[in-house]
Amino acid sequence: MSKEKNSNAWSFEQKRFLLKRLIRRDFKSRYKRAFFGILWSMMSPLFIFGAQAIVFTYFLGRSEHYISYLIIGNIVFHYFTDSTGHEMHALNANSGILSRIKIKKEYFLWSKSLSCLVNFFVTMTAMFIIVAIDHIRFHFSFLLLIFPIICMFFFNLGVGYILSALYVFFKDTEYLYRIFTRMLIYFSAIFYRIERFPESVRMYFFCNPVYCYIHYFRSIIMYNTIPDFKLHILCIVYPILFIIIGKIVYNVNNSRFIYYF
């Protein structure tokens, strides 16, 4: 008991130091033995979306700025799957440490989430390069993107709490979640515009939190338009809801994790 109390009584500086070390470890392990290292975060989407630009814009005759529409949707969706996927394995991947040392398991979840956020900022560089090539002007409203990024960070974290807890007990969670995300991409309007649907159908897209964040990014970058108040509310409500649910699922099972490592 005394050891556990001491682990929970760490100072703010000690917690911050631990998180920094974990984030640095996660970020380095992602690009371990890769010659180009962090550049792959920019090069990979540039190659992929370069091919998509040729196929969708030239062969299929898509509308103007379609490649920007496509890359924004893809990169925001990839941030969601990348972050939640790494968070799902956060506890299990560090089971050896957690079995030997009394330490808050949440630190490993937060480190994965923060390292994926750093990677997302790097990937956004590739997005802005393609947006510039697509002749979309940069403007001050781009600074407003910090709002959906913060909201999405906490939304991903909430989903991560749920997935990491489920994965400890049920390894099939990984395969089920992979199927789910592959289905979700088709309901996130990555490749098509929802304007083709009647108004009564469009409203259902906003039941998908990932689409809300994609729509916010596109509104700011492509149309220089601040989304309406309702979208702002949704962007805030979804992370709050999933953080609450995630913390409940995590806390209920926290004491049982050690028996399944």
pLDDT in tens, 171-212: 999 999 999 999 999 999 988 889 888 888 999 999 999 999
Return the closest-CA partner of residue 75 out of 37, 42, 38, 40. Answer: 42
What integer pLDDT is reported at residue 259 of this predicted model?
A: 73
Q: What is the mean pLDDT of residues 29-39?
A: 58
156, 76 contact by CB (below 8 A): no
Asked whether residue 1 carries a pLDDT value surpassing 50, the answer given is no
Q: Is 61 or 63 the better-scoring residue by pLDDT?
A: 63
What integer pLDDT is reported at residue 2 of this predicted model?
A: 43
Spatial separation of the C-alpha atoms in residues 156 and 153, rounded to whole Å = 5
Question: Which residue type is seen at 169?
Answer: F
Asked whether residue 118 carries a pLDDT value surpassing 90, the answer given is no
220, 226 contact by CB (below 8 A): yes
The H or E element that residue 88 is part of is helix 66-88
Asked whether residue 101 carries a pLDDT value surpassing 50, the answer given is yes
152, 213 contact by CB (below 8 A): yes
Q: Token match 């991903």: residue? A: 156
Query: Which band of pLDDT confidence, cut at 50, 70 and 90, is reported for residue 84?
Result: very high
Q: Token match 């990979």: residue? A: 44
Query: Which band of pLDDT confidence, cut at 50, 70 and 90, is reported for residue 126?
Result: confident
Q: Which residues contact 210 (CB under 8 A, 6 or more apart)?
A: 76, 77, 80, 184, 188
Question: Which residue type is seen at 218?
Answer: R
261, 99 contact by CB (below 8 A): yes
214, 188 contact by CB (below 8 A): yes
How far does the chain reach from its first CA to its final CA, in angstroms? 21
Query: Which band of pLDDT confidence, cut at 50, 70 and 90, is reported for residue 4?
Result: very low
Q: Is 214 or 34 the better-scoring residue by pLDDT?
A: 214
What integer pLDDT is reported at residue 3 of this predicted model?
A: 45
Q: Tokens at residue 167, please?
A: 């994965």
Give just the sign of the alpha carbon dihedral 14, 83, 207, 174.
negative
Q: What is the mean pLDDT of the chain?
A: 83
What integer pLDDT is reported at residue 49 of this predicted model?
A: 65
Asked whether residue 8 carries a pLDDT value surpassing 80, the answer given is no
Spatial separation of the C-alpha atoms in residues 246 and 88, rounded to whole Å = 12
What integer pLDDT is reported at residue 5 of this predicted model?
A: 46
Percent of the chain with pLDDT over 70: 74
Percent of the chain with pLDDT over 90: 44
What integer pLDDT is reported at residue 68 of this predicted model?
A: 86
CA distances from 11 to 4, 5, 45, 180, 202 (A): 14, 12, 40, 40, 49
CB neighbour class for 249 (10 Å; exposed up to 12, middle 13-18, buried from 19): middle
What integer pLDDT is reported at residue 7 of this predicted model?
A: 46
What integer pLDDT is reported at residue 155 of this predicted model?
A: 98
Q: Token match 């997302």: residue? A: 120
The H or E element that residue 47 is part of is helix 40-52
Q: What is the mean pLDDT of residues 59-69?
A: 69
Query: Which band of pLDDT confidence, cut at 50, 70 and 90, is reported for residue 29?
Result: low
